A and B are shown apart, each in its own frame.
Chain A
Amino acid sequence: MKFSVFQVSRKGGREKNEDRMGYCYTKSSGLFLLADGMGGHPEGEVAAQMVLQTISALYQKEAKPEIGDPVAFFNMAIMAAHRQILRYAAERHLMDTPRTTLVAAIVQGGMAHWVHCGDSRLYFVRHGELLARTRDHSYIEQHQDHSRPEVVLPERFNRNVLYTCLGSPTKPVFDVTGPVPLQQGDRILLCSDGLWGSLEDSEIVYQLGQKPVGTAAPELVERALFKAGAHSDNVTVIAMEWETPDSFESTRGNISTDTIEDGVFASTVQAGWLDSGVDDLDDAAIERSIAEINEAIRRSAARKA
């Protein structure tokens, strides 16, 4: 299994970034996650982080090395993450529960499955064209069905009004899609509303179709931030390109699982709630690093001798 992946999250004009993202993979399966903690409720970033951790932990347990039934997995994992948030709120006697959106994709056996809850989106692009996109669980998106006459929306309609999310006292509503067969060069982009709120779908699709994900993703984020200006929402994107050919071997963001061993699990989802932008090296960690380096030096020297 081969893919390139690029993830980036940037704080807009908001006080804090409640978006969370990450991916993990085994020898033959990959999971991509993005959650946008909701404002207006307490601790949105905790909800987002908790969802990522819960789902990636379950994935690690189940993906041996593949998920047997991705649809069933999503159904189970989302409810587990949802209950986890409710438990957290109950334990801390929070007056209101933390809430978050979620969009996630599993890629394995040449197929993709995805799920979403709320207004974080997934774009699926092939040959520069949009093949599929998730439909937000917002009043605006669900009422704009092209088979029906367009609903006249009140002026200054708030696109942020969602009718479902993880962590609310009502049971979450979510949609699972798949299996969708993948072709070489297919791109899958997961993003928070900070991206699609300021960029047109056509622009997102165009950029994603034209450039490698490592270029397209940061450029899209940069554009979205620029366009939204000082009051920009946080913008988070994780983009994946399927089966990048061998000749294009990058040292960054290109992942080939062919060489990794059975039972290996890699993850960018971090443990711990806090935004650990800079994880401080403590003395023990410094000593450990030095010992590791010296061990590597000895090994290299031994090889040479």
Chain B
Amino acid sequence: MSKVKPAPLPPDTTIGGYRIIRKVAAGGFGLVYLALDADGQRVAVKEYLPSSLATRAPGELLPQVQPEKLSLYRLGLKSFFEEGRSLAQISHPSVVSVLNFFRENETVYMVMNYLEGAALQDFIVTARDLKQSKVFRESTIRSLFDEILRGLRIVHQHKMLHLDIKPANIFITDDNKSVLIDFGAAREVLSKEGNFIRPMYTPGFAAPEMYRRDASMGPWTDIYAIGACIYACMQGYPPNEAPQRLEKDRIAVALARLRGVYSDNLIEVVEWCMSLDPLSRPQSVFALQKELSREGERRYTKLSVGEKVRMQFDTMVTDTKRSVLGVANVGAKPK
């Protein structure tokens, strides 16, 4: 993209009584800074500054919005408020909490808890590079998602959907708590065209209904993403994206390979959450929690020899196809 991103506020700028230390993240909605409050406590400050609608020259404080984009900018601002309003009502250790909301520099700022730690994404990458049969232990996965689901349940109770749950938006703090972050409801509106709202989505974690224009989304849409996150914790890689799955679904085969490594129950839970049909998934977080927390002996069904052979054969065929196609492409190139 040749577009110039809005420049972050320079370090040591003071806004609303908070002193900016540095920029820590940027997204479609704007920027996130690490800052210090009046007592020297660390906070995260999120600045509304959608890169597609506003610009800011380095060293400047005020963003520039082109007149023709002003209405969309204001619309996005409304969503930013929605996010603030929703988060303000939620007070749960597994959901990032809002501390303050203020207006300055002709835009608005949301002050949140600053979390020390790393995203689940980083843990997955580190763990998978160890090249062991298991990326995470089953008990780790269960307790991690138990916490996240408690938070998500509260979110849904407040008539809000996250719509972008992915390992990058699950934060593991240094004191071992998992927290859902980035409730960028703003992203939902910024791609609004006509009467339709099309949220942005992350391939692999977005349920099929997120790709369809204006299809009905609900708790089951976030639940699909939860299933995909658990999958990523087991495989080390995100699942295939939903449209690909609609064509040829390889999830069942990929999960079958994990049999014996993870319990049948966990594998079934992932399959359930990731059903392509929204109605076949757990319809509420509660239903999923119930299944995930089921105590009792875990059953591990190993693959039979026959299944293993068939699977190897499958792989062989796919690989051959791929290399044949590859050769064909190479051959076609010089033309």
Contacts and interface: CB of A to CB of B under 8 A. Distances in A.
A294 interface: yes
A284 interface: no
Given A8-B214, A281-B77, A286 B103 contact: yes
B252 interface: no
Contacts of A8: 195, 214
B100 A10 contact: no
B74 A290 contact: no
B218 A215 contact: no
Interface residues of B, number: 36
A222 B218 CA distance: 21
B303 interface: no
Contacts of B17: none
A285 to B, nearest CB: 9
A244 to B, nearest CB: 11
Contacts of B219: 249-251
Contacts of B159: 251
B194 interface: yes
Contacts of A287: 103
B216 A252 contact: yes
Contacts of B103: 286-287, 290
A157 interface: no
B217 A218 contact: no
Contact of B81 (A6, A215, A252, A293): A293
A98 B100 CA distance: 50
Nearest to A292: B85
A297 B217 contact: no
Contact of B102 (A215, A218, A290): A290
Interface of B: 71-72, 74-75, 77-78, 81, 84-85, 88-91, 97-103, 108, 156, 159-161, 194-195, 213-219, 283-284
Given A294-B88, A300-B97, 6 more contacts: A252-B161, A252-B218, A281-B78, A290-B101, A294-B100, A296-B85
Interface of A: 6, 8-11, 212, 214-215, 218, 222, 247-253, 277-278, 280-281, 286-287, 289-290, 292-294, 296-297, 300-301, 303-304
9 closest A-B pairs by beta carbon, nearest first, are A214-B216, A296-B88, A250-B218, A218-B214, A300-B91, A293-B101, A289-B81, A293-B84, A278-B71
